[in-house]
Structure 1
């Protein structure tokens, strides 16, 4: 009885010690597993993060390349708009010069017409009323009307009337009266030409102003786009600059990995 009790009291501490050691080892093993973590799942997560990082880099490079391309395109558009504005400005200057010449021609013709009209009110000198005299008056009227039409001083309609002796064109009148009528017709024709030139000058001025405003707007946008492109140009990689299709292909390849 005493031997059994003695064996029991001696063996229990050894068993407790062994179980304590085993328990401690188990706790250390569990703690180590928690600290180290599972190796299997970490590699996929790391690969996923790397792939996401590559995709982000590609997208940044693509967006930067798009800004650079836009800056170049709007710069070209601004240069073309400025060239167009220059042509419209030159066209307006030409139209303005034409309008000034038309006004000068009309003023001179109107002054001459007034003088001839005033002179026609005076008694006309007597001329022989013969067939040869009337034929000469008719030839003079025809030559004067055709010459005025050739110099764009008389319209074709007035020329036809003069040659057909219609609407007041009478070759039997005294040459002074015929010339007064011719000068009045020239004044009316040049007045219409002056109004047309003035209208075309206003149209050209409006077109020049619109083209200049468009050029200024595009140049401002080109400057702003160039500044934005300069800020992100360092992000543009060679593959991004190669074109959007190549970028999309590389991006699809990166996503598929």
Structure 2
């Protein structure tokens, strides 16, 4: 018995040392796993992620679909921009028509005021003969035709002049006939100005809507050009999932990208 113990006891320190070394290695490994768990997970997570990601043909198909969509949006944005430019040009033209109609209306009103002030004075006496009435009728018809050529009378008003209706009396004195003519001119130019204003407002609304649509499509085209098909998320939530950066706070939230975040042109 004494011989067995004397044979085993010399090997006990060596075995104890080996066990202590193994325990130290295990403790270090456990500590590394606790402190830095991501040091040993990427390999396993990469295998799962590779199995979850689409294959090369699927990625190629996604890239082709994305390229086709980006090209279609770019073409639509270009066409919308052309339409917006055309409608804006039409609006500018309508705006010029409003200004021209207003200038003509102001001139007609000023002329009417001067003529109304002059009509207060006694009219010169002329003979009441058939020849005088014929001259007055010819003067009225000639003045009405000239005003119609200048755009100061409408077709309906010119018809009333030749039909001697709606207050057109060729037997009146030429001064009175001029006053009636200027009033009719003022009314016609005022109606033309109202029509021009309504047309200009409609053209502005159409140009504004077209511009907003063009801006939206242009932003979507830029986003589609810069955007790439998204990669699949890793099936291991703690392996390589992106961590929130220090800048992402409640005061500085992340902004969504894509169609839902597209703004106007």
1:137 & 1:229 partners in 2: Cα distance?
Answer: 83
Distance 1:202 1:214 in 2: 18
Q: CA RMSD in A?
A: 2.0
Structure 1: which 4+ aligned runs deviate by more than 4 Å?
Answer: 229-232
Offset at residue 150 of structure 1 (A): 1.9
Matched, 1:208 2:210: no
Aligned with 2:124: secondary structure?
Answer: coil
CA distance in 2, matches of 1:148, 1:90: 30
The separation in 1 between residues aligned to 2:204 and 2:229, in whole angstroms, is 37
- The 5-angstrom pairing of residues 1-257 of structure 1 reads 56-229=55-228
- What residue ranges of structure 2 are gaps of 5+ in the alignment? 1-50, 232-265
1:230 deviation in Å?
9.1
Write out per-residue CA displacement over residues 198-235 of structure 1, whole angstroms, 9 at most, x where no aligned residue. Answer: 11011111111111100100000000000014999xxx
User: What is the number of equivalent residue pairs in this alignment?
Assistant: 181
91-100 or 150-159: which moved more?
A: 150-159
Alpha-carbon distance in 1 for matches of 2:161, 2:119? 19
Q: Which residue of 2 aligns with 1:250?
A: none
Deviation at 1:56, TM superposition (A): 2.3
Asked whether the 8 Å contact 2:77–2:218 carries over to 1, the reply is yes
- Aligned in 2, Cα 1:165/1:174: closer, same or farther, shift over 3 Å? same
* 3-state DSSP of counterpart to 1:216: helix
Shift of 1:106: 0.5
1: CA distance between counterparts of 2:192 and 2:60? 61
Q: Indicate the structure whose relative CO is greater, using CA pairs within 8 Å and at least 6 residues apart.
A: 1
Aligned to 1:23: none
Task: Tell me if the contact between 2:66 and 2:229 (Cα under 8 Å) persists in the aligned partners.
Answer: no
Q: Quick one: distance in 2 between partners of 1:167 and 1:77? A: 55
Gaps of 5+ in 1: 1-51, 233-257
Counterpart of 1:44 in structure 2 is none
TM-score (ref. length: structure 2): 0.65
